[in-house]
């Protein structure tokens, strides 16, 4: 039996979306991150840590989308 190529699973190609859709996704992730941060103050310490971890993931993904948008705009300028 042949195993699937791990490299293909680790580096998926981003979906083809309009820059406006990418901006909406970025903004929604940032909003979600802020919401998680605000909600974290109303919970116990362990739950707060989990919310902050999720907040960090949302914000990191938003940053990755921001870099993708920068690459798109650079490609259009060239």
Q: SS3 for 31?
A: helix
> Does a structural domain hold residue 64?
yes
pLDDT for residue 2: 52
pLDDT for residue 78: 74
Taking residues 52-60, what's their average pLDDT? 97
> Does a structural domain hold residue 56?
yes
pLDDT for residue 77: 81
**What would the two tokens of residue 26 be?**
């970025």
The range of the structural domain enclosing residue 23 comes to: 19-77
Tell me the per-residue pLDDT of 17-37, one tens digit each, with 9 for 90 and over: 999 999 999 999 999 999 999
> Does a structural domain hold residue 65?
yes
Instruction: Enter the pTM of the model.
Output: 0.75
């Amino acid at each position: 039996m042949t195993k699937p190529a791990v490299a293909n699973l680790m580096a998926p190609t981003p979906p083809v979306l309009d820059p406006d859709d990418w901006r909406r996704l970025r903004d929604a992730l940032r909003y979600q991150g802020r919401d998680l941060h605000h909600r974290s103050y109303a919970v116990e310490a362990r739950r707060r840590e989990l919310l902050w971890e999720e907040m960090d993931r949302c914000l990191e993904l938003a940053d990755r989308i921001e870099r993708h948008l920068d690459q798109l705009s650079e490609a259009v300028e060239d």
